[in-house]
Structures are given as C-alpha cells and as structure tokens.
Structure 1
Amino acid sequence: MNAVTDEEFQQAGEVTPDSVMRYLRGSGWSVSRDLGSGQLWELRADEGRPYQVLVPVRPQVRDYAARISDLLETLSAVEARRPGDVLREMFLPSADWQFLRLTPPGPSGTAPLVDVVPALAGLRDLMTAAAASSVAPVPQPVQPAQKPQQVKEYVSRVRLDQTRVGSYVVAAHTPLSTPVHAGEPFERSVTRRLYASVLCAREAAAASVAADELQDFLGYTGVGLSANLCEALVKISGEQRNGFSLAFAWSPDIPVGQKTAPIPLARPHLEVLEAAARDLRARAGRTDVALQGTVVRLRRELPYGPGEITVSALTEEWQRPRRVRVHLAEPEYERAAEAHRLGHEVVIQGDVRVSGTAVRMESVTSFMTVPVDD
C-alpha cells in the first residue's frame, strides 16, 4: 500500500467532506451506515467482502487529516494509484470523464509515440464531432468544416489527466458549467451525445461484420453518428488499426439513470467504420459543388420551357459515377440538349442533395458545356 506523504497529509486536511463524497459516488461507492460523526461507505467487489472507508463529516475535528489520509490509502490500494493522484482529483470541479484505453503492443502502461499522437488527435476530433452534433438543429451525416464558436470553446475546455493503470489509458474530463437556463449543462449534453453516437457506431459496425455487408449508417445520424465521428474513431486506432475501448464516468452531481458499460472497438469494427465514413460522405449533400459529366437523360413536359436533365458525374468523394438530376431553366436546358446531341460534357455548379439513392442538384449557379475531343 502506498503511504500518504507529509505534504499530502497537509492537503488532506483541506479537502471538504462533500468533495470526498462526490468522488466516492462517482467511483461507484455508496453509503452503508451513518455513524453520526462519519459515514461508512462501501464498494462491492466481484468476489469476497466489500471495501469500506469511513468519511468524517466534521472537518473541525483534530484528527480529520489523519482520517482522510487513511481513506486515501485505502482508495490507493483499490484503484492501484498513488494517494496523491486520488487526492488531486478530489479537488477538481464536478466533471464528466472519458477513459480511452489503447491496446498497443508492448509493456503495459506504455505506448509507441506513433500510436499516441493519432489517438489524441482522434480524441479531439471525436469531442468536436459530438459537440457539433449537439449544437446542430438537425444532426447531419457530414458536418460542415467550419464549426460554431460554442463547439470550439467546448473542445478547448476538455482537459487531459494522468494516464491510468492498464494497457495505456488516456483520461479526459470536462468540467460541468452552471446552466444559464433550467436544464442540464451543455457539457453533459455533449457527453450523452458522445456516448450514444459511439455506441450506435459500434452496434452498426458489429451488425455489418456479422452480415458481411455494410449496414445503413445513415439511420443513426439522429443520435449524432456522422462521417466525422467514424473518421475520428478510425484515427484513434492509428495506422495499424489497433483496437481500443472508451469508458465513461459521469459526474455524481448530475446522476445518470442507467449504467454505461465501456464500448470496445476491434479491428474489424474499425475497418467497417472506415467504409461507413466513405459511404456517408458519398451519400450526403454538399453546397457549392461543381459536377462535370455527360447528359444521359432529357425530360420536360412541353417542347419549350424549363426541364430536367440527368447527368452521370463523378466527384472526388464518390467511388463511382452517380446519376444526378438537375432542373434547368429553358436556356440552360437547350444547351444541355445540344451537349447531349454532340456528345459533349457539361459542368454545373450548385448544391447537391441526397435522399436515399437519389441525388439531385439544386440552386444551380452556373452552367457550361465542355467539348470532348474525339
């Protein structure tokens, strides 16, 4: 058992009983008995008798620091951490925690630099995707590159803590702010969105692996799943696509109504998520896009006036040509018909919208024909 140092003993006398109890609640402990001058807390173990600690409720008593020190040494043994690390967390404000457990090859508690760097970048992107989904009026399968200021401010408040025992565990936490209006803090809504979207990503990936076919990830966008989130999860795994897990610890100041088990992602899941991200981007709409291709269909109700054309086009994000329907005014429709007759290509700029397998271009801003050399 690690003993409390003299400096930590002095600091132990400064931590409040409320801070100690908040830490215990957040770590799964519960009150067993009220002894008047203190409370007996228990943590159920998988086997054998439960762990017990005594929390003094009056900081004014002479041996308060000694009692807190005894409690810290017990927690140190239970959590396999130094007492000073436990004490430091007791002083932290109320926060939600995420624990990213990497499984790189090599000794436990270490990780190659080439694995840690993309993991941290992926964790940042993961937080960004969850926050962007939380502020969006309607979650999108592909998020805009420019993020709202509220998202940037949220990500800047995420803090990394010391690593934990077990493989290589990155601990991140976000302090919970006081809501301006009634309801939960924005930080909690992001954490909930993060958990739900990662869980759905894992379930959809597992279903794809079982069926040996990519499932429809588009149906999960309502809970925050996006191409950006899938790409962030893949980035965390590094070039070798090493598996990892993500665990959540919720601030006891705002209890959650259900248990949230760690979410593991293995290499097969990550390979599916990589394909899902490409599929979501291919199917999602984009603004101010230039499409170039050949006119394969012409349609209008009358011999004159506006009409609709279908263009077989290819973009950088599409793996194969797709047919795009475009509504054109009469002058542009006539030029498209001429390009179709001559075998020329057309270049059209506008907003691409995807609905299922149908692709349309709307709000056309420019149209031109491009002769094709024989």
Structure 2
Amino acid sequence: MTPVLPDEDLLAKIDVKDVRSYLDLTGWQLVDEQPERIARYTKTRDDTGRQYVVTVPLKQSFTDYPARILDLVATLSDAEHRSGEVIALTLIQGRFDSLQARIEDDGSRDGSIDLVDGAAAFQSMKELLLYSAIAEKGPKPVYSSPSYEETKRLLKGSRLAQTQRGSFVLSVVTEIPFQEQTLPGFPDAPEPHPRKVMRRLATALQAAHEAGIEDTEAAFRKRVESGLSANFCAAIGRFGRSGSLHGVSFNTTASRTRRVNRDACWVA
C-alpha cells in the first residue's frame, strides 16, 4: 500500500519546537545536536526491537525544510503505524488542548445536524469554555453574563476546529503556550492559564456527570469548587432541547506537544 503523505504547504507549517516537543514526549532520545543546523533522535520499538532514527532541521528558513520534515514524518508514520497526513496534522495541531462534543440525533449519521440544534450546540460549546474560564478565577454557583469584550478576553486563543463525522462532532481548541522542559529534579513551571481553564472544563464535565447520577441539589452544590455552576449546567442542557437528540458525549484531550504537569490530574 502506498503511504499517504502530506503536501509541501502543510509540511512548511510545522514548527520546529512542536516537532522536538512531540519527540521528547513520545519516548525519542536525543543523540546528537548541531546548533542552528540539525538534531538527531532515535527510538527502539519494544515489540520488534527495530531502531528508528529521525533528523530534525532546526530552522524553518532552510530551503529544504519541507523535504526534511517529509522524511521525518515518513519515519514517524512507519514507527507509529499511522498515516503521514495524520502525523503532520498532529504536529500542527498538537499545541492545542481540545474539547469535542459528539452529538447523536436523527440526521447526524450522514454528518449533518438540524440547523437550529446545530446553532444551539455551537453556543453551548462557547459557554462551556467561557464559564470554565470564569470559574478558574473563582468558583461560584451562578454567574452574571459577561460582556462581549470580557468574553473575547476570556476566550482569547480558543477557536472552533473543523467539524468531524462520526455522528456530528463539534470541536473547540485552545492554544497552549510553549514552555521549555524543566531539568530532572526541578519542579515543573506553573501551568499556563489556558491549560488551567481546559483542566477546569474537564473537571467540571466530570462533576456534572457525577452530580447528574446523584440528582440532588446537594450533589451539585458540593461540586461548585470543581467548576460546576448553574451556567455550566444550562450550557450542557441546551444540547437536550431537541426531541430528535439521542445523546451527546464529551471528550477533552490534552495537547500532544505540550507537557502536562506531573502533579496535576487531567480528567478526560
């Protein structure tokens, strides 16, 4: 089978920092570095004993940068048994934490959704992230609606991603700033604020699920500190207004190229 590899324009968008961070986080070992030129990494597969070698060009200004990244992506594709296009997209989009909502309704099997229900779902996704950002400043049972300017400030760096098939899947992504890796034995640097907001969102979704099972006012109140609020619950509830809706499930995913603090818990 001919491997599916990305085009040159896509490869040119891949940032050197994201490549090196991805390699560090997925078990590759740095074995050689020529400053301002290249860095070489190796990895041995546990199941086969095969050793792989990749060379990272350290400047995107190199004229052959896309060609070198293509070689790297092809090797990663072979080592990870994933298509080159998927690997390239992982490296490009890896700086984002993400929230996905998978919606099941009467028409979603063909990749579409009712227009009114879809508009409400997009609004809900925005509010889930918005009230998580507000809760990170100080958890409360209920909040007043922020102004448009405040909403833009709180959600800076968050974007709608391409919708996906598989029922109807909405995605919101938040860019996580790059941080240099700390040396062994030293404490991790404080998490950047966008990561704290996404972690709060993940925790609040879990809290909403648990409170919904108990289904008492006390169950909701004791989870306010986790980010649960009346506003957050209302955003989830908006998904269920349509009679054609069969269900919605949420998934939060941490960035593939940004380190998660060792002492922090990520709830998916």
**TM-score normalised by structure 1 residue count:** 0.53
What is the DSSP-based 3-state SS (H/G/I as helix, E as strand, rest coil) of the residue aligned with 2:143? coil
What is the DSSP-based 3-state SS (H/G/I as helix, E as strand, rest coil) of the residue aligned with 1:31? coil
Alpha-carbon distance between aligned partners in 2 of 1:135 and 1:219, rounded to the nearest angstrom? 18
Quick one: which amino acid aligns to residue 231 of structure 1?
A: A
Q: Which has the higher relative contact order, 1 or 2, with Cα contacts under 8 A spaced 6 or more apart?
A: 2
Residues 104 and 170 of structure 1: CA distance in aligned 2, closer, same or farther (over 3 Å):
same
Alpha-carbon distance between aligned partners in 2 of 1:192 and 1:129, rounded to the nearest angstrom? 13
What is the DSSP-based 3-state SS (H/G/I as helix, E as strand, rest coil) of the residue aligned with 1:40? strand
Alpha-carbon distance between aligned partners in 1 of 2:42 and 2:105, rounded to the nearest angstrom? 42
2:223 is equivalent to residue 227 of structure 1: no
Residues 13 and 157 of structure 1: CA distance in aligned 2, closer, same or farther (over 3 Å):
closer
Quick one: which amino acid aligns to residue 193 of structure 2?
A: F
User: For residue 56 of structure 1, what is the aligned residue in structure 2?
Assistant: 55
Shift of 1:121: 0.9
The question of whether the paired residues in 2 share the 8 Å contact of 1:125 and 1:232 is answered with yes
User: For residue 111 of structure 1, what is the aligned residue in structure 2?
Assistant: 112
> What CA deviation, in whole Å up to 9, does each residue of 1:66-118 have, x standing for no partner?
41341475599637xx81x6535534583322222222344646131333222
User: For residue 162 of structure 2, what is the aligned residue in structure 1?
Assistant: 162
> What CA deviation, in whole Å up to 9, does each residue of 1:157-176 have, x standing for no partner?
31112234533322221113
Alpha-carbon distance between aligned partners in 2 of 1:116 and 1:76, rounded to the nearest angstrom? 35
**Percent identity among equivalent residues?**
20
Alpha-carbon distance between aligned partners in 2 of 1:234 and 1:71, rounded to the nearest angstrom? 45
Shift of 1:35: 6.0
Residues 121 and 107 of structure 1: CA distance in aligned 2, closer, same or farther (over 3 Å):
closer
Aligned residue pair count = 242
Shift of 1:178: 7.8
User: For residue 129 of structure 1, what is the aligned residue in structure 2?
Assistant: 131
Residues 183 and 35 of structure 1: CA distance in aligned 2, closer, same or farther (over 3 Å):
closer
2:251 is equivalent to residue 255 of structure 1: no
> What CA deviation, in whole Å up to 9, does each residue of 1:333-370 have, x standing for no partner?
xxxxxxxxxxxxxxxxxxxxxxxxxxxxxxxxxxxxxx
The question of whether the paired residues in 2 share the 8 Å contact of 1:39 and 1:57 is answered with no
User: For residue 246 of structure 1, what is the aligned residue in structure 2?
Assistant: 250
> What CA deviation, in whole Å up to 9, does each residue of 1:39-82 have, x standing for no partner?
3276x9xxx87999753234579962441341475599637xx8
Shift of 1:216: 3.2
Residues 33 and 91 of structure 1: CA distance in aligned 2, closer, same or farther (over 3 Å):
closer
2:212 is equivalent to residue 205 of structure 1: yes
Correspondence 1:130-145 to 2 at 5 A: 130-136=132-138, 139-145=139-145
RMSD: 3.9
What is the DSSP-based 3-state SS (H/G/I as helix, E as strand, rest coil) of the residue aligned with 2:43? strand
Alpha-carbon distance between aligned partners in 2 of 1:134 and 1:128, rounded to the nearest angstrom? 10
User: For residue 120 of structure 1, what is the aligned residue in structure 2?
Assistant: 122
The question of whether the paired residues in 1 share the 8 Å contact of 2:130 and 2:151 is answered with yes
The question of whether the paired residues in 2 share the 8 Å contact of 1:141 and 1:225 is answered with yes
Residues 126 and 65 of structure 1: CA distance in aligned 2, closer, same or farther (over 3 Å):
closer
What is the DSSP-based 3-state SS (H/G/I as helix, E as strand, rest coil) of the residue aligned with 1:174? strand
Residues 153 and 51 of structure 1: CA distance in aligned 2, closer, same or farther (over 3 Å):
farther
Residues 51 and 233 of structure 1: CA distance in aligned 2, closer, same or farther (over 3 Å):
farther
What is the DSSP-based 3-state SS (H/G/I as helix, E as strand, rest coil) of the residue aligned with 1:173? strand
Correspondence 1:334-345 to 2 at 5 A: none
Residues 10 and 142 of structure 1: CA distance in aligned 2, closer, same or farther (over 3 Å):
closer
Shift of 1:140: 1.8
User: For residue 27 of structure 2, what is the aligned residue in structure 1?
Assistant: 31
Q: Which runs of 5+ in 1 are unaligned?
A: 263-374
Shift of 1:148: 8.7
Match of 1:40 among 32, 38, 43: 43
Shift of 1:220: 1.4
Residues 75 and 17 of structure 1: CA distance in aligned 2, closer, same or farther (over 3 Å):
farther
Shift of 1:23: 4.4
User: For residue 36 of structure 2, what is the aligned residue in structure 1?
Assistant: none
Shift of 1:30: 2.0
User: For residue 4 of structure 1, what is the aligned residue in structure 2?
Assistant: 5
Alpha-carbon distance between aligned partners in 1 of 2:221 and 2:254, rounded to the nearest angstrom? 28
Residues 51 and 10 of structure 1: CA distance in aligned 2, closer, same or farther (over 3 Å):
farther
The question of whether the paired residues in 2 share the 8 Å contact of 1:177 and 1:186 is answered with no
**TM-score normalised by structure 2 residue count:** 0.70
Residues 69 and 254 of structure 1: CA distance in aligned 2, closer, same or farther (over 3 Å):
closer
Residues 121 and 224 of structure 1: CA distance in aligned 2, closer, same or farther (over 3 Å):
same
Residues 215 and 171 of structure 1: CA distance in aligned 2, closer, same or farther (over 3 Å):
same
